[in-house]
């Protein structure tokens, strides 16, 4: 969604080419939307007692507006929340600091960083941040980095420094997560050293990221050496750390060692394998051609009441398909159908039809319509999974169509989607298709501040 608002403040927006007016105009709406209808019915799920009918015609208190805004943010109804902010504007008031925090955090998490930045300017201009300064900065920082907009994220950090707002543990963890994901070893260690200097706790999240950055830079023995350091300081070996170790072994083909770690997790009382554990094990066994063990892990995971990530399932059945094992695909899909997990089954059914190449869906709209008819609510995960499935078959037209439908549903493609699809096409040798996906997403989502 584009901002119709132009905002201006003394130091300027953190986002380039966004000016600011003293009186921002947001989404125009009135409280006579479906929220007022809820009030007319005399009930409201966010308040303990029913709201009287007469409140519909009376001026709502600022406190109630703020409560509604925070409730809408909590339930994901951000457009309704922005409509309520416009109502407050029309009354000559503004949300309270906590409501601004909720709005900015929600917008940033949805990738709507332009709107989040606009609200942030209001907070700074009118000095209404209360005690939430660093939380607001963290929300904006996280939103920019999630979209790969490093330059804008660095501007946020510069502004924190100018305003004497100190980083906290969350700020450092946000930066570390980005740098590790981007494979930036030097920057990752700079953040870790800063955390040590500030005496922030190096928790399992941090150590897990250190293991990963070593692994991704080919230093897997150093990555495993971190385990000794963890034991020395007495930090419990939790799922986060175990998963990082499994991923390290898997990447370098040490599959037996990865299975040994799984065995330790299963015997542990407080670090049981989660869906990420199984996904990693199955992915790496598929990658190294150990399909029999991958299928055994797939069965073990289901026996423990967990259901595979659709993207991992794509990988598994693709490998089986490459080896002509269509009967194995059908067998394992039938085992999933017996489970009471409707949404997952519907997505898997579509993927089997795409990748198994029997009864493939060439019409994306028909496929998504089929999923909806089976009660599957459109989600980023669903669209990413389907796009990946089409991409692995080199079906560029259908892949782009999935992205277009994703955008039509109001779900914004992100940098992860870009990487998944480019990797899928690249692996299949479809380099022109990879380039077309890149240009499509570049036009749809500005992944850097230089998008023109």
Q: Characterize 166-186 residue by residue with b for buried, 16 or more Cβ atoms within 10 angstroms of its Cβ, and e for exposed.
A: ebeebbbbbbbbbbbbbebee
| Bridge partners of residue 7, in order along the sequence | 21
Can you give the pLDDT at residue 158?
93
CB 281 within 8 A of CB 262: yes
Say whether pLDDT at 14 is over 80: no
Selection from 398, 335, 338, 412 nearest residue 368 by Cα: 398
Q: What percent of the chain has pLDDT over 70?
A: 70
Burial class (CB in 10 A: 0-12, 13-18, 19+), 158: exposed
Each residue's pLDDT tens digit, 320-333: 766 766 667 666 66
Selection from 334, 444, 436, 349 nearest residue 389 by Cα: 349
Helices 220-232, 239-251: inter-axial angle, 10-degree rounding? 160
Give the span between the Cα atoms of 366 and 389, in whole angstroms: 15
Can you give the pLDDT at residue 60?
64
Mind listing the domains of the chain with CATH numbers? 1-144 (1.25.40), 361-452 (1.25.40)
pLDDT average, residue stretch 103-132: 86
Can you give the pLDDT at residue 218?
83
Question: Which of 62-66, 223-227, 232-236 has the largest mean confidence?
Answer: 62-66
Give the span between the Cα atoms of 109 and 116, in whole angstroms: 10
pLDDT average, residue stretch 114-143: 86
Q: What's the CA dihedral at 204, 207, 209, 212 to 10 degrees?
A: -120
Q: Which residue has the higher pLDDT, 226 or 49?
A: 226
Task: Catalogue the long-range contacts made by 210-213 (C-beta closer than 8 Å, 24 or more residues apart).
Answer: 211/241, 211/244, 211/245, 211/248, 212/180, 212/244, 212/247, 212/248, 213/179, 213/180, 213/183, 213/185, 213/188, 213/189
DSSP 8-state secondary structure symbol assigned to residue 96:
-
> How far from each other are the two terminal CA atoms of the chain, in whole angstroms?
17
Give the span between the Cα atoms of 413 and 57, in whole angstroms: 41
pLDDT average, residue stretch 148-169: 91
Compute the C-alpha angle 100/105/108, nearest 5°: 120
Can you give the pLDDT at residue 308?
67
> Residue 107 — pLDDT band, cuts 50, 70, 90?
very high
CB 415 within 8 A of CB 147: yes
pLDDT average, residue stretch 52-58: 38
Say whether pLDDT at 159 is over 70: yes
Q: Characterize 198-220 residue by residue with b for buried, 16 or more Cβ atoms within 10 angstroms of its Cβ, and e for exposed.
A: eebebbbbbbbbbbbbbbbeeeb
> Residue 33 — pLDDT band, cuts 50, 70, 90?
very low
Each residue's pLDDT tens digit, 261-314: 999 898 887 788 998 999 999 999 988 989 889 889 988 888 888 876 777 777
Say whether pLDDT at 196 is over 90: yes
Each residue's pLDDT tens digit, 227-268: 888 878 888 888 888 998 999 899 889 999 999 999 989 888
CB 213 within 8 A of CB 248: no
Say whether pLDDT at 449 is over 70: no
The dihedrals phi and psi of 448, each to the nearest 5 degrees, come to -150, 160
* Distant-in-sequence, close-in-space partners of 254: CB < 8 Å, separation ≥ 6: none
Say whether pLDDT at 56 is over 60: no
CB 119 within 8 A of CB 154: no
Can you give the pLDDT at residue 70?
93
| Bridge partners of residue 21, in order along the sequence | 7
Say whether pLDDT at 46 is over 90: no
> Residue 51 — pLDDT band, cuts 50, 70, 90?
very low
Can you give the pLDDT at residue 295?
87
């Amino acid at each position: 969604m584009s901002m119709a608002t132009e905002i201006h403040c003394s130091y300027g927006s953190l986002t380039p080419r966004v000016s600011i007016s003293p009186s921002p105009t947001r989404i125009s709406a009135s409280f006579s939307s479906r929220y007022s209808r809820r009030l007319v019915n005399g009930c409201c799920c966010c308040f303990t007692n029913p709201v009287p009918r007469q409140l519909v015609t009376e001026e709502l208190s600022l406190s109630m507006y703020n409560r509604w805004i925070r409730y809408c943010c909590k339930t994901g109804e951000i457009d309704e929340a922005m409509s309520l902010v416009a109502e407050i504007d029309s009354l000559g008031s503004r949300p309270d600091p906590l409501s601004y925090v909720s709005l900015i955090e929600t917008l940033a998490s949805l990738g709507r960083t332009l709107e989040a930045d606009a609200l942030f300017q209001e907070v700074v201009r009118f000095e209404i941040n209360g005690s939430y300064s660093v939380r607001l900065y963290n929300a904006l920082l996280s939103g920019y980095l999630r979209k790969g907009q490093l330059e804008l994220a660095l501007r946020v950090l510069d502004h924190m420094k100018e305003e004497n707002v100190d980083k906290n543990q969350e700020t450092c963890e946000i930066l570390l997560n980005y740098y590790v994901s981007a494979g930036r070893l030097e920057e990752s260690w700079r953040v870790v050293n800063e955390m040590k200097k500030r005496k922030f706790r190096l928790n399992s999240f941090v150590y897990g990221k250190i293991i990963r950055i070593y692994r991704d830079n080919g230093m897997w023995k150093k990555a495993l050496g971190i385990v000794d350091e963890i034991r020395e300081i007495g930090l419990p070996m939790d799922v986060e750390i175990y998963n990082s170790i499994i991923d390290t072994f898997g990447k370098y083909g040490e599959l037996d060692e990865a299975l040994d770690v799984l065995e330790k997790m299963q015997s542990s009382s407080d670090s049981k394998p989660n869906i990420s554990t199984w996904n990693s094990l199955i992915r790496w066994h598929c990658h190294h051609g150990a399909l029999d063990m991958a299928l055994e892990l797939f069965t073990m995971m289901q026996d423990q009441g967990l259901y595979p990530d659709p993207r991992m399932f794509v990988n598994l059945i693709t490998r089986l398909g490459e080896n002509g094992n269509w009967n194995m695909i059908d067998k394992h899909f039938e085992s999933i159908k017996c489970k009471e997990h409707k949404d997952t089954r519907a997505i898997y059914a579509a993927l089997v039809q795409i990748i198994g190449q029997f009864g493939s869906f060439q019409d994306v709209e028909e496929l998504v319509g089929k999923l909806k008819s089976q009660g599957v609510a459109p989600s980023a995960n669903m669209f990413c999974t389907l796009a990946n499935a089409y991409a692995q078959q080199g079906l560029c037209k259908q892949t782009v169509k999935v992205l277009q439908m994703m955008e039509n549903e109001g779900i914004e493609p992100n940098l992860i989607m870009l990487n998944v699809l480019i990797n899928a096409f690249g692996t299949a040798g479809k380099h022109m298709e990879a380039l077309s996906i890149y240009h499509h997403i570049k036009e749809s989502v500005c992944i850097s501040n230089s998008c023109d």
